[in-house]
Amino acid sequence: MRTFSDNVEATIAEESFRYFVLIKVALASGEYYYTSHHSDIDWDGKNWLSDGGIFSYDSPSFSSVVDREAYKIVLADISNEFYDEFRAGVVGRDISVYVGLCDPITRQPMVATDGSGVSDVLFMYKGKIDSPSVEINWDSKTAVIEGTSPMADLDQINVTMVSKDGMDQLSLTDTSYDRIYEGSEVQLGWGKI
């Protein structure tokens, strides 16, 4: 069960509240720290930049690939910084997303830790960069980063033999395919086995 700090619990109980997102992207040249808040935020010993150009971010969603959770972030790429990083290769690098709340009275970001050691900033997503791309329109140039959960395929194409012998190569103790063999046939009724 997720534990919330005292500040977060009190803020969530309010009728309405403001929130911000913190995004950490690890690339070849180093780690980048961005926030959706209108000013920079100091948290976890890092300075999270507000002028990083976060265009949009999605809620984590399941994609069509089995056991694959995808998360999409769109950042401004005016200086070709991300374009150059993408060309160098970023598939498989870490991406993390956190969410924080603003104090309902001061409207300042809450980034403290309560007396029990629980942070006001909540972990939301961690995965690996899977599908980086740069989109150029008439009025903007953006870097699109799709992150996927560790269970994802990360653009690799690996064939898994779905047979008893194929599973034996992965694990001799896995007996899930022992009763499946060539030439076996099962008649299925509608919704029944």
Tell if the pTM clears 0.75, that is, is over it: no
Residue 101 lies in a domain: yes
Residue 181 lies in a domain: no
| Number of compact structural domains in the chain | 1
Residue 109 lies in a domain: yes
Residue 185 lies in a domain: no
Residue 126 lies in a domain: yes
Residue 168 lies in a domain: no
Walk along the chain (193 residues) and give the pLDDT tens digit of each residue: 678 888 888 888 887 889 899 999 998 888 999 999 999 999 999 999 987 677 787 765 544 444 456 778 888 887 888 888 888 888 888 989 899 999 988 989 999 888 888 889 988 888 888 888 888 887 888 888 888 765 544 444 444 545 555 555 566 676 666 666 555 666 666 665 5
Residue 169 lies in a domain: no
Q: How many residues does the chain have?
A: 193
Task: Show the domain range for 131.
Answer: 6-148
